[in-house]
């Protein structure tokens, strides 16, 4: 049997800890008393909304110096956007990023996500100081207008026909109706024969010069089976590489017209040429009668 | 870069001098662009834009008043979809500056009067609509608008004027009511009811004989095809039961109610519609095309407004206006159609397809080129690949299902559109679904449609391709191989009369002989028409024509170019052996025999022969109705040839008419020219006209001035052409009447129903002639009535003529 024996006296160590604890308690009280008259003095500058745009900038500067805000990833981006030479692609990217302004945003191009809070303040101040400058307003509308009319089909597509285009821009799709087939000197006939056993083939389009073609099925399961069974196999002495096509014109049937899917797939392919090879012989007229 | 260079150098010196002028012009341009652009998509709200623009215009009012007036009065007509935006703007200006409001109203009234006088009916209608909308913005008083309406009602009730005129006044009122109905309902309910009652009376008494001729389908299931005025009347009536509340028009003035309600209103002056004159042309009536209802659209999507809801009309009108504005650029048009403002609230694709087909099928003729609708639809498919092709495929199915009752003209347009569309979609179609047409009669519209589509596809591709595009079972409907049929090379061809001469002529032609040598050879051929007695010289030698035409065209059959070269080189031979109409019909028969398997080639050769005056129009018409062509009678290409013939004649007449009119105008201008000085403006005008003439043809200024004699000779030529034209129409209609009456009588004696597919096709083609050439046929309406379409005629045939007459009555 073991007795646990608790001595009534505290050990030296315990005493020390006790006094430390008391001290800390006292300090905490003092601190609380100190805080009470002006609550949370540290946080105020960040929350206070300066009335003037200049104030906002000043505050921002101060915050930057004190290190409360990190030095913004913006500058590096800035040099790119304001430099004289920009690539066309960049320009397009930039314009596409600010294509959909949600309100009057004169500084939207320099919009860094980190500073959105004060940016917002600055903006508000600006809009207030510059009450409706009508002409500018209109001009801006004029400048964006042609662009808007150009972009509207794409924006439209993105809103209503999103399944068609979005996979193109983002990541590889994981399911789809269309498979990509690669094989040296393959033809439409070969693909037709090789793939019709997996399901109803809605459309085949060839890019002969690139030795590849696209086969669209009416069901995604057919496409999946075609990939798993045909990839790496030999057809008519040609080794095929089969994978899901990167562009997936997904057509969700909205009616029961049976040609719908066919026409949609053709319309979704940008190039409508090259899919058919004219097999006629060249006709020459050598004799010059009359 | 170039702009900067110009600024720095070239223009520098001029700048100072031009500053004052250019500054003013610059401000004017600025104002113009501001006014035009208001309401376009901007970052700020429309209300603040309107407010801002109103104060800008107010500030510049004194300096640029006339300019502002002009632009503001044109905008709502040019951009009718922004009607309410401009009425709001004018309303705000009126609230600030009462005088300007008054001047604007005056300007609008002036414009309306001018449009009515000039017969610009669509502009006039839009002005009436805008003036009505101005009541909503407290610019015009409701009572004076009612006065205008009353005078329009009076014009609609006028007796002894064409119904098309009275209809227009009614239509202008009915289409304005969706805009101002609510306001009138709140303020002047009794007057509004009075007007509605008057309209109802008018519509009840109206003659609607023309409707049958304008319908795409002669059947009202599943969707009633209503006459336009009756349709808008039903829609407005429905609006009344909804207490004049509609949900489509965007009304920015509601936001400015407090400002606008304090503004003073103006009274419209009395506007009397100009009286009817014989030369005034009014818009033709039409039938509203309905293809879809809400059950055709996907269940998940927004609802298609019903036939009689006013929203359907408003949306359709807006879509038609977009077509009007952009019809020249298919890509822009497709983009604008898909960017329709309220696109999320309606099944837009369905409405676009219905509107485009309604334009394509519009009777008597589409507003724009048929092909422009086809390529707009293709652009729409490219822009919206997930939905548009599907809606279009669905529409095609519907049109095919309902083709039994479609009129022949629209049938042709449907064939052309569908084959064109297929040619842009790799000729893919779910042909398996249409196999039922194979078991139908050859003249059944469905079977006919499929075979005509194949024929058209052949023109857009080639024989092998068309054969590959459809399942094998369709082979009975596929066109034959498009090759010349040269009977002398077929089996037993050697035994045919003239076979040896054909051989001789072929050898001779290979040696490139002169026309005289050819003529010498074929004139040796015996004439089978010649009696043994030999006392009468026959009008032509059929054997000679047969040998020559067949041999020449066969040798030139390789291409159009070869054929045309042959026709050109031996033109004189043709003229010699085919002097009269009988000989020409005989020749056309030979052309047909050779090219019977290639309708396109046949059409091109006939066209060329008409152009080079180897055959005359009347001969072509007679040939088409001849017994030899009976088996081809229901095929489209035959009618294509007839229409191109009639069109050729019409063009000729129109050209001569214009020449005579020009010459006469010049002649009239000449005397006032020499008479010098007592009438100043007249003289100036004469001089100016002469100057422009002399600028155009400086070298032969003297010759250019037509003399009395020359004009007389031109008039004689015109009269001859007009009598030819009249003759052609008489032949065509007479043959139609003969062939149809014969059919009806034969069926009667056989105890069979005369209403066969053949009969329907033929009546349809008769209607097509009336419709396609209505402007020209109209001139001979009287003659036709007294000579051909008399009361003793079978009523079924006569109806077609009556419908045509009703078009403008």
Per-residue pLDDT of chain A (290 residues), as tens digits, is 556 666 667 778 888 888 888 888 888 888 887 776 554 444 444 444 444 555 556 666 666 666 555 554 444 444 344 444 444 544 444 444 444 333 333 343 433 344 444 444 444 444 444 444 555 555 444 444 444 444 344 343 333 333 333 333 345 567 778 888 888 888 888 888 888 888 888 778 888 888 888 888 877 888 888 888 888 888 888 888 888 888 776 566 677 766 777 788 778 775 555 556 777 888 887 666 67
Suggest the residue from A267, A276, A280, A281 to mutate for an interface test with chain B (most B CBs closer than 10 A). A267
pLDDT in tens, B729-747: 999 999 999 999 999 999 9
According to the model, what pLDDT value does residue A78 have? 40
Chain A residues inside the 8 Å CB shell of B38: 138
**Arch. (CATH architecture) of B23-261:** Alpha Horseshoe (1.25)
| Residues 6 or more apart whose Cβ sits within 8 Å of residue B640 | B603
Residue B789 vs residues B780, B786, B797: alpha-carbon distances, Å: 12, 7, 8
According to the model, what pLDDT value does residue B16 have? 53
What is the phi/psi pair of residue B239, to 5°?
A: -60, -40
In whole angstroms, give the CA distance from residue B349 to residue B357: 12
According to the model, what pLDDT value does residue B357 have? 97
How close does chain A come to B768, measured CA to CA in Å?
A: 31
According to the model, what pLDDT value does residue B532 have? 62
Which of the 8 DSSP states describes residue B266? B
**Using CB atoms, which residue from B430, B462, B559 is nearest to A259?**
B430
By three-state DSSP, how is residue B781 classified?
A: helix
Of A256, A236, A188, the residue nearest A216 (C-alpha): A188
Average pLDDT along chain B: 89
Q: What is the 3-state secondary structure (H, E, C) of chain A?
A: CCCCCCCCCCCHHHHHHHHHHHHHHHHHHHHHHHHCCCCCCCCHHHHCCCCCHHHHHHHHHHHHHHCCCCCCCHHHHHHHHHCCCCCHHHHHHHHHHCCCCCCCCCCHHHCCHHHHHHHHHHHHHHHHHCCCCHHHHHHHHHHHHHHHHHHHHHHHHHHHCHHHHHHHHCCCCCCCCEEEEECCCCCHHHHHHHHHHHCCEEEEEEEHHHCEEEEEECCHHHHHHHHHHHCCCEECCEECEEEECCCCCCCCCCCCCCCHHHHHHHHHCCCCCCCCCCCCCCCCCCCCCC
Chain B residues inside the 8 Å CB shell of A268: 385-386
Chain A residues inside the 8 Å CB shell of B41: 141, 144-145, 148
Contact A258 B430 (CB under 8 A): yes
How close does chain B come to A183, measured CA to CA in Å?
A: 23
Q: What is the longest distance spanned by two Cα atoms in chain A? A: 136
According to the model, what pLDDT value does residue B184 have? 95
Paired residues of A238 in beta bridges? A235
According to the model, what pLDDT value does residue B233 have? 96
Contact B394 A257 (CB under 8 A): yes
Q: What is the 3-state secondary structure (H, E, C) of B438-495?
A: HHCCCCCHHHHHHHHHHHHHHHHCCHHHHHHHCCHHHHHHCCCCCCCCCHHHCCCHHH
**Arch. (CATH architecture) of B298-477:** Alpha Horseshoe (1.25)
Contact B430 A276 (CB under 8 A): no
Residue B727 vs residues A12, A251, B615, B621, B780: alpha-carbon distances, Å: 135, 57, 15, 11, 10
Structure tokens at A39: 């609550």
Of B108, B113, B117, B112, the residue nearest B90 (C-alpha): B108
Label residue B804 exposed, middle or buried (CB < 10 Å: 0-12, 13-18, 19+): buried
Query: Which residue positions in chain B have pLDDT lower than 70?
Result: 1-21, 531-536, 671-704
Chain A residues inside the 8 Å CB shell of B572: none
Under 8 Å between Cβ of B213 and B771 = yes
In whole angstroms, give the CA distance from residue A284 to residue A287: 9
Chain B residue with minimum CA distance to A274: B426
According to the model, what pLDDT value does residue A288 have? 67
**Using CB atoms, which residue from A105, A260, A289 is nearest to B562?**
A289
| CB of A168 less than 8 A from some CB of B | no
According to the model, what pLDDT value does residue A103 have? 37
**Using CB atoms, which residue from A132, A142, A145 is nearest to B52?**
A132
How close does chain A come to B74, measured CA to CA in Å?
A: 20
Under 8 Å between Cβ of B711 and B667 = yes
| Residues 6 or more apart whose Cβ sits within 8 Å of residue A220 | A175, A176, A177
Of B151, B112, B158, B123, the residue nearest B283 (C-alpha): B123
Of B560, B637, B558, B562, the residue nearest B592 (C-alpha): B637
Query: Within 13 Å of residue B321, how many CA atoms lie on the same side as its CB?
Result: 18
Chain A residues inside the 8 Å CB shell of B339: 149, 152-153, 156
Chain B residue with minimum CA distance to A164: B386
According to the model, what pLDDT value does residue B646 have? 96
Structure tokens at A153: 């089909």
Q: Which of residues 210-249 of A touch B (CB under 8 A)?
A: 249
Contact A137 B44 (CB under 8 A): yes
Under 8 Å between Cβ of B801 and B780 = no
Under 8 Å between Cβ of B127 and B77 = yes
Which of the 8 DSSP states describes residue B277? -
Single pTM value for the model: 0.77
Helix, strand and coil in chain B, % to nearest 5: 70, 0, 30
According to the model, what pLDDT value does residue A12 have? 82
Q: Domain boundaries in chain B?
A: 23-261, 298-477
């Amino acid at each position: 049997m073991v007795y646990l024996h608790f001595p009534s006296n505290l050990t030296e160590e315990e005493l020390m800890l006790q006094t430390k604890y008391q001290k800390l308690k006292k300090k905490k009280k003092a601190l609380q008393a100190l805080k009470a008259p002006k609550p949370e003095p540290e946080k105020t500058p960040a929350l206070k909304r300066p009335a003037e745009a200049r104030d906002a900038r000043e505050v921002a500067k101060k915050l930057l110096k004190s290190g409360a805000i990190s030095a913004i990833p913006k500058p590096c981006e800035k040099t790119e956007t304001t430099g004289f030479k920009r690539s066309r692609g960049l320009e397009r990217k930039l314009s596409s990023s600010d294509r959909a302004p949600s309100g009057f945003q004169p500084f939207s191009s320099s919009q860094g996500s980190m500073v959105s809070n004060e940016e917002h303040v600055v903006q508000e101040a600006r809009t207030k100081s510059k009450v409706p400058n009508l002409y500018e307003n209109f001009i801006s509308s004029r400048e964006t207008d042609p662009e808007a009319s150009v972009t509207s089909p794409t924006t439209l597509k993105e809103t209503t026909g999103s399944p068609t285009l979005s996979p193109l821009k983002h990541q590889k799709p994981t399911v789809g109706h269309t498979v990509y087939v690669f094989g040296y000197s393959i033809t439409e006939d070969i693909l037709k024969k090789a793939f019709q056993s997996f399901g109803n083939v809605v459309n085949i389009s060839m890019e002969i010069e690139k030795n590849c073609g696209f086969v669209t099925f009416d069901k995604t399961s057919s496409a999946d089976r075609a990939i798993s069974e045909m990839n790496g196999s030999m057809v008519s002495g040609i080794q095929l590489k089969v994978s899901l096509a990167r562009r997936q014109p997904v057509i969700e049937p909205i009616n029961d017209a049976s040609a719908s899917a066919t026409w949609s797939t053709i319309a979704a392919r940008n190039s409508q040429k090259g899919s058919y090879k004219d097999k006629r012989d060249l006709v020459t007229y050598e004799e010059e009668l009359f | 870069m170039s702009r900067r260079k110009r600024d720095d150098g070239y223009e520098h010196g001029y700048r100072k001098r031009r500053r004052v002028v250019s500054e003013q012009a610059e401000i004017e341009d600025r104002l113009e662009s501001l006014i035009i652009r208001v309401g376009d998509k901007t970052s700020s709200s429309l209300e603040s834009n309107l407010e801002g623009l109103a104060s800008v215009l107010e500030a510049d009012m004194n300096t640029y008043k006339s300019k502002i007036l002009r632009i503001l009065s044109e905008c709502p007509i040019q951009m009718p979809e922004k009607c309410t935006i401009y009425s709001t703007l004018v309303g705000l200006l009126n609230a600030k500056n009462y005088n300007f409001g008054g001047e604007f109203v005056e300007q609008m009234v002036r414009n309306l009067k001018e449009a009515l006088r000039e017969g610009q009916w669509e502009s006039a209608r839009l002005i009436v609509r805008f003036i009505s909308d101005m009541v909503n913005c407290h610019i015009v008083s409701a009572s004076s608008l009612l006065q205008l309406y009353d005078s329009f009602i009076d014009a609609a009730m006028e007796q002894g004027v064409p119904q098309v005129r009275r209809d227009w006044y009614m239509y202008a009122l009915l289409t304005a009511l969706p805009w101002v109905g609510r306001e009138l309902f709140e303020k002047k309910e009794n007057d509004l009811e009075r007007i509605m009652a008057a309209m109802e009376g008018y519509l009840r008494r109206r003659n609607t004989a023309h409707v049958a001729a304008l319908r795409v389908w002669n059947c009202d299931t599943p969707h009633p095809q209503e006459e336009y005025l009756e349709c808008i009347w039903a829609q407005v009536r429905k609006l009344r039961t909804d207490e004049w509340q509609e949900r489509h028009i965007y009304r920015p003035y509601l936001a400015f109610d407090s400002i606008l309600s304090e503004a003073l209103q103006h009274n419209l002056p009395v506007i009397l519609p100009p009286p009817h004159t014989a030369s005034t042309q009014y818009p033709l009536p039409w039938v509203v095309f309905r293809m879809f209802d809400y059950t055709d659209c996907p269940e998940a999507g927004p609802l298609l407004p019903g036939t009689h809801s006013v929203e359907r009309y408003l949306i359709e009108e807006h879509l038609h206006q977009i077509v009007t504005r952009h019809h020249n650029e298919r890509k822009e048009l497709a983009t604008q159609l898909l960017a329709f403002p309220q696109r999320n609230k309606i099944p837009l694709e369905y409405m676009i397809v219905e509107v485009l087909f309604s334009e394509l099928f519009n009777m008597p003729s589409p507003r724009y080129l048929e092909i422009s609708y086809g390529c707009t639809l293709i652009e729409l498919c490219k822009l919206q690949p997930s939905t548009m092709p599907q809606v279009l495929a669905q529409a095609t199915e519907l049109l095919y299902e309902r083709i039994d009752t479609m009129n022949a003209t629209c049938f042709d347009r449907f064939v052309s559109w569908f084959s064109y569309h297929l040619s842009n979609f790799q000729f893919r179609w779910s042909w398996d679904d249409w196999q039922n047409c194979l078991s139908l009669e050859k003249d059944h519209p469905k079977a006919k449609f499929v075979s005509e589509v194949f024929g058209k596809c052949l023109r857009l591709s080639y024989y092998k391709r068309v054969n590959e595009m459809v399942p094998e079972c369709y082979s009975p409907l596929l066109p034959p191989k498009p090759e010349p049929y040269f009977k002398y090379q077929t089996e037993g061809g050697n035994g045919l009369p003239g076979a040896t001469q054909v051989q001789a002529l072929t050898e001779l032609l290979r040696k490139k002989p002169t026309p005289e040598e050819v003529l010498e050879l074929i004139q040796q051929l015996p004439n089978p028409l010649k009696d043994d007695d030999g006392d009468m010289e026959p009008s032509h030698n059929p054997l000679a024509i047969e040998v020559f035409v067949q041999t020449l065209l066969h040798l030139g059959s390789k291409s159009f170019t070869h054929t045309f070269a042959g026709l050109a080189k031996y033109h004189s031979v043709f003229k010699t052996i085919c002097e009269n109409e009988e000989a020409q019909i005989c020749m056309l028969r030979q052309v047909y025999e050779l090219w019977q398997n290639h309708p396109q080639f046949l059409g091109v050769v006939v066209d060329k022969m008409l152009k080079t005056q180897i055959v005359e129009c009347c001969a072509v018409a007679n040939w088409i109705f001849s017994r030899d062509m009976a088996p081809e009678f229901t095929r489209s290409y035959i009618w294509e040839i007839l229409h191109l013939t009639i069109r050729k004649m019409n063009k000729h007449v129109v050209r001569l008419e214009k020449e005579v009119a020009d010459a006469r105008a010049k002649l009239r201008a000449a005397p006032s020219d020499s008479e010098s000085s007592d009438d100043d403006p007249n003289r100036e005008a004469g001089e100016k006209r002469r100057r422009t003439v002399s600028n155009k043809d400086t070298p032969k200024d003297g010759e250019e001035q037509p003399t009395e004699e020359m004009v007389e000779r031109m008039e004689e030529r015109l009269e001859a052409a007009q009598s030819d034209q009249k003759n052609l129409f008489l032949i065509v209609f007479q043959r139609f009447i003969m062939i149809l009456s014969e059919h009806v009588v034969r069926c009667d004696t056989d105890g069979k129903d005369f209403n066969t597919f053949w009969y329907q096709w033929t009546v349809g083609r008769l209607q097509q002639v009336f419709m396609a050439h209505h402007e020209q046929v109209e001139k001979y309406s009287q003659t036709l009535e007294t000579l051909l379409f008399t009361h003793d005629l079978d009523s079924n045939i006569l109806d077609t003529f009556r419908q045509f007459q009703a078009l403008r009555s």
